[in-house]
Amino acid sequence: MTTVAQRYAELVEAGELQPDPEQAAAALRLDRLQEELERPEPAGGLLGRLFGARKVERPRGVYMWGGVGRGKSMLMDLFHECLDVRAKRRVHFHEFMLEVHARLREERKKGLGDPVLPVAAQIAAETRVLAFDEMVVNNSADAMIMSRLFTALIVEGGVTVVTTSNRAPCELYKDGLNREHFLPFIALIEHRLDVFPLNGPTDYRLERLRGVGTWHVPNGPVATEAVREAFFRMTDYPPEDSAHVPSYELDVGNGRSMHVPKSLKGVAVFSFKRLCAEARGASDYLAIARNYHTVIVVGIPRLSREQRNEAARFVTLIDALYENKVKLIATADAEPTDLYEAGDGRFEFERTESRLMEMQSAAYLALGHGEE
């Protein structure tokens, strides 16, 4: 069985990764965690764990934090791919919390008291290992339940948590409303998970975009090839297998979903027509911005007066991406300042032009997803 440390060493040997002591230390810890998790369940197994027949001490989890492009998701990929455990799950943290709130609503309908504990029990019954991408807490609804939820999952349910974040544990939900209710969660993370900073000298995400660019004019084969190359660089997906890039049905709330034609490793590809010519609202764009660190939009046209609705939706889309520090790569018929020269909402579009220019800057591209 391949281990995390072996795969990491192979990538360094092949020159795909630069030697990085912090990455190497995290890889060794994940390697040890893989070994611990793959050991056979003690007598009593899962049933004993759930029904209290025997208290089983589960392996400590891992919390990897650091700047954008420092290899956090890469190490998570290696861990999840190498781990030979059936009841494992990798999920974007925002998606997981949306699911938790949906389960809580169902439990509240039963009127049986605090719904957090039964929801945690449901998750623990399904999963031994939870691997989260990009843990970030930016609303009080999540902050209020996280201490109770994760205490029940980790301490009582025996779930092992591995997560990445752009922030150190003590910086989560900083200056948030009623943060005192969130502090026990930080204490839980620091007590139950091993914390590894990853702030090495190489920003792999920026390195992969180097020389590719983010705004390609005009629409056509050359621009299409440029964003195609960017996608494969960002995802490590083999270009020769492009026909099999996975798609995804993204939950955008209220029982609705949006089809994402290409969705891989936090990168999504859309056409302008799908995003802005169809009836879309702010909640759709916010779901995209929270779930993807990079969005590729192809076929942005020069907008006319008759396309004021499309222009208004585009403004809302860019606001959501900008406020969540999502990287935008696009093909368009014009530069941002020439996209929408006249029509209703022209004044509001000036802010979008400014944001589109800033989103191409090195300073913006160096920001982590979701950073304020």
CATH-assigned architecture of domain 4-197 = 3-Layer(aba) Sandwich (3.40)
Q: Is the distance from CB of 258 to CB of 286 less than 8 angstroms?
A: no
Q: Is the distance from CB of 61 to CB of 83 less than 8 angstroms?
A: no
- 204-365 is classed CATH 3.40.50: yes
Tell me the pLDDT of the chain (372 aa) as tens digits.
689 999 999 988 888 788 889 999 999 999 999 999 998 866 555 555 555 544 556 899 999 998 777 888 889 989 999 999 989 999 888 889 889 999 999 999 998 888 999 999 999 999 999 998 888 887 888 999 999 999 999 999 999 999 999 889 999 988 888 899 999 999 999 999 999 998 876 666 667 777 778 999 999 999 999 999 999 888 878 888 888 899 999 888 788 889 999 998 889 999 999 999 999 999 999 999 988 889 999 999 999 999 999 999 999 999 999 998 999 999 999 999 999 988 888 888 999 999 999 999 988 887 877 765
Domains 4-197 and 204-365 share a fold: yes
Q: Which of 186, 300, 156, 292 is nearest to 235 (CA)?
A: 292
Q: Which of 164, 162, 159, 98 is nearest to 136 (CA)?
A: 164
DSSP state of 44: T
> Domain map of the chain by residue range?
4-197, 204-365
pTM confidence score:
0.67
Q: Which of 241, 363, 227 is nearest to 294 (CA)?
A: 227
Structure tokens given for 352? 């979008």
